[in-house]
Amino acid sequence: MLLCCLGVLLLMQGPTLQFSLADNSLVATPDNEASAIPYFETVLDPNDKLHLYWTVDYDEQTVTFELRARVPDHDWIGIGFSDRGEITNADLCILWTDKKRKNRFQDAYTDETGFVSVDDHDDCHLLSMKRRGFISRFAWSRKFDTCDKQDYYIEDGTTHVVYAVGRGPIRRLDGINLSKERHGFQRVQLLKNVIPNPPFPEDTKTLTIHNNKVAVPNVETTYWCTLHRLPPNFEDKNHVIQYSSAIQEGSEGLVHHMEVFHCEVDAHKKLPFWNGPCTSPEKPKILEACKRVLAAWAMGALPFTYPEEAGLPIGGPSFSRYVMLEVHYNNPELKAGVIDSSGITLTYTPSLREHDAGVMELGLEYTNKMAIPPRQPDFALTGYCVAECTRVGFPAEGIVIFGSQLHTHLTGIKVYTKHIRGSEELPELNRDNHYSTHFQEIRRLKRKVRVYPGDSLLTTCHYCTSDRENITLGGFAISDEMCVNYVHYYPKMDLEVCKSSIDTKVLKSYFRYMKQYNDEETSGSKEVDENYKSIHWSQANADFLHHLYSNAPLSMQCNQSSGDRFPGFWYGTPKTEILYPLPLPKRRCPNIMCSSKNDNDEDADDNDVE
Ligand SMILES: *[C@@H]1O[C@H](CO)[C@@H](O)[C@H](O)[C@H]1NC(C)=O
Ligand SMILES: *[C@@H]1O[C@H](CO)[C@@H](O)[C@H](O)[C@H]1NC(C)=O
Ligand SMILES: *[C@@H]1O[C@H](CO)[C@@H](O)[C@H](O)[C@H]1NC(C)=O
């Protein structure tokens, strides 16, 4: 049980913490593995007035939350979820005080304008509550899937936790318009991995690569880059076995994400120093070589820990010791005068583990051959890592994938990678139905996946270009798009890029066709981007392009780490066919099953009623 007389039992890396709602204090109790339930936490608002703690029970398919709020004690506090962080079409549990000073806790939802209605069915189960002065603490539980159409379905991947607060006491909830009240959201991976971390060897060391008193600009978005040189003990090879954030106290709401990139230059090359905005025109061009991700952290992310049998190789005689730290500051309140020294801590060991871990890129080539027409609420592109490539690139015993970082630019809304063997679909490698470019964590997979030579991996990205008037092309600029899954695996192999795009000849004939039969201004002498920009993007043309991408053969990038392709013929490659798709996951919802089924259905007793 999660609850005891005082509140929710919580654990933080070692000692068990007990939340005492009686006196608003955190009490450390002796380490007790048996009762140790891992818990997670995140700030919700930039001032940390709302701080969320939670635990996940995978057996019961339930999340238990506890919120610590610093608001006047008759104010109402709504907290819940929405598809992408908007306060409209949101599902909330709201704590409020009525005119008789009685505290209430209700399940509610907002319509497409933010207008609140109380839910027909109450799925916000209050466990404990304490309000005094400016401190409110309350704990509640929520099923992943409540089977209620008015509720949000908590899934793997990114969850947008939304909040709203307002003055109380109030007479009733119905009719409050949350669009007009103070509100916001935070992205978290709610359904975190709860596998315990392996022990570290005794010679484990840590290195924190951090900013040095950066004056954070008072603008909403800043990407700050600093060049660092690893210390001399990286002249020998080490294994990074964990990395984690090192956020300066007080910067918790401000540091949005951070990445450490390795500079892919000759080990002896000296690089010019840099400490400034990443996009500054004064940043030396050579520093663009600092692009290979070593570590990445995003708000709410826990330390990323390698499995016991593998580590990320870093250092050695041919390894440049230069790395670039990139910190994304998110400052919507335009605070001035903040000085920050946050960074990332690498935990490493010279005692090398059994396997070197590697990173492989799946998805679409970085090319303008793939494009997304404007005004599309949901346009999908798929990048293929075909069997022909895994057959030449993978070791005979296959590889073990244990981590994944999904990547698109601004318009990506959903990303997943399917795993196919023969023509049968196996369980998916990773999926994020609420993907956001602003929350690109490297996530440990909940189950390691072995992928054999001859398997295929299909990465699909969905994009929303509703607010764009021109076509979006594939490419490197933030306004261009990408579709990538950086998978972390072992043992490290030579295959580094397994990505596709539409076959070049087919694309050329498409542009020819659009001129001949559709009167578009496309031409054989124009570049690909000009051709795409020449087409008038009606819905029919957008649908036709989607149809073309879904049927055309591929051009494959099946590349080694040297940047050369593996030997083979990589044009006109047929698409991977899925003859036996994975059955849809079964929801444990009696009503939903009944309404979609005939009353006489013989499978009716299959329903998993709780
Ligand atoms: C709620 O507030 C928004 C923003 O002010 C407004 O556009 C919308 O019409 C309001 N909804 C209702 C039902 O009044
Ligand atoms: C869209 O394309 C037109 C024509 O190239 C250009 O003038 C316009 O600025 C573009 N709009 C945006 C938002 O980029
Ligand atoms: C893959 O290899 C081809 C041929 O050598 C090269 O043109 C391309 O740039 C490489 N792509 C990547 C991402 O390394």
Ligand 3 atom index nearest CA of 559: 1
- C-alpha of residue 177 to centroid of ligand 1, in Å: 6
Q: Global pTM? A: 0.85
- C-alpha of residue 365 to centroid of ligand 3, in Å: 9
The per-residue pLDDT for 6 is 32
CB 12 within 8 A of CB 4: no
Instruction: For ligand 3, say whether the CB of 557 is within 6 Å of any of its atoms.
Output: yes
Q: Around 263, how many Cα atoms within 13 Å sit in the side-chain half-sphere? A: 28
Rounded CA-CA distance 247/235 in Å is 28
The amino acid present at 32, given as its one-letter code, is N
Rounded CA-CA distance 402/468 in Å is 36
- Mapped onto helix, strand or coil, the DSSP state of residue 194 is coil
The per-residue pLDDT for 587 is 81
Residue 306, C-beta contacts closer than 8 angstroms, at least 6 positions apart = 239, 240, 241, 242, 312, 353, 357, 402
Ligand 2 atom index nearest CA of 468: 13
- C-alpha of residue 148 to centroid of ligand 2, in Å: 44
Low-confidence spans in the chain with pLDDT less than 50: 1-35, 593-610
The DSSP string of 394-463 is S-TT-EEEEEEEEE--TTEEEEEEEEEETTEEEEEEEEETT--TT----EEEEEEEEE-TT-EEEEEEEE
Ligand 3 atom index nearest CA of 565: 2
Per the structure block, which two tokens stand in for 231? 């210390």
Residue 1 burial by CB count (10 A; 0-12/13-18/19+): exposed, middle or buried?
A: exposed
* Residue nearest (by alpha carbon) to ligand 3 atom 12: 563
Total Cβ atoms within 10 A of residue 482: 22
- Ligand closest to CA 363: 3
The per-residue pLDDT for 608 is 34
- C-alpha of residue 465 to centroid of ligand 1, in Å: 25
- C-alpha of residue 256 to centroid of ligand 1, in Å: 30
* Residue nearest (by alpha carbon) to ligand 2 atom 2: 470
State how far the alpha carbon of 46 is from the alpha carbons of 4, 251, 255, 404, 595, in Å: 31, 9, 10, 28, 43
Residue 437, C-beta contacts closer than 8 angstroms, at least 6 positions apart = 407, 408, 409, 410, 412
Look at residues 348, 295, 297, 290 and name the one whose alpha carbon lies nearest to residue 321. 290
The per-residue pLDDT for 330 is 84
The per-residue pLDDT for 13 is 33
Which sequence positions are flagged as catalytic?
223, 407
- Mapped onto helix, strand or coil, the DSSP state of residue 548 is helix
* Helices vs strands, H then E, count in the chain: 5, 39
The per-residue pLDDT for 501 is 98
Rounded CA-CA distance 51/66 in Å is 8
**The Cα angle at residue 595 between residues 592 and 596, in degrees rounded to 5:** 85
The per-residue pLDDT for 32 is 40
- Ligand closest to CA 564: 3
- C-alpha of residue 351 to centroid of ligand 2, in Å: 55
* Residue nearest (by alpha carbon) to ligand 1 atom 13: 115
Instruction: For ligand 3, say whether the CB of 565 is within 6 Å of any of its atoms.
Output: yes
- Ligand closest to CA 533: 2
Rounded CA-CA distance 436/328 in Å is 15
Per-residue pLDDT tens for 188-203?
A: 999 998 888 888 999 9
* Residue nearest (by alpha carbon) to ligand 1 atom 4: 179
Per-residue pLDDT tens for 584-604?
A: 887 877 755 444 333 333 333
Which of 469, 480, 534 to probe ligand 2 with, by most ligand atoms within 8 A of CB?
469
> Residues 64, 66, 67, 72: is their CA dihedral positive or negative?
positive
Which of 115, 174, 178, 181 to probe ligand 1 with, by most ligand atoms within 8 A of CB?
115
The per-residue pLDDT for 602 is 34
The DSSP string of 340-372 is E--EEEEEEESS--SEE-EEEEEEE-SSTTSEE
* Residue nearest (by alpha carbon) to ligand 1 atom 6: 113
The per-residue pLDDT for 31 is 41
* Residue nearest (by alpha carbon) to ligand 3 atom 9: 563
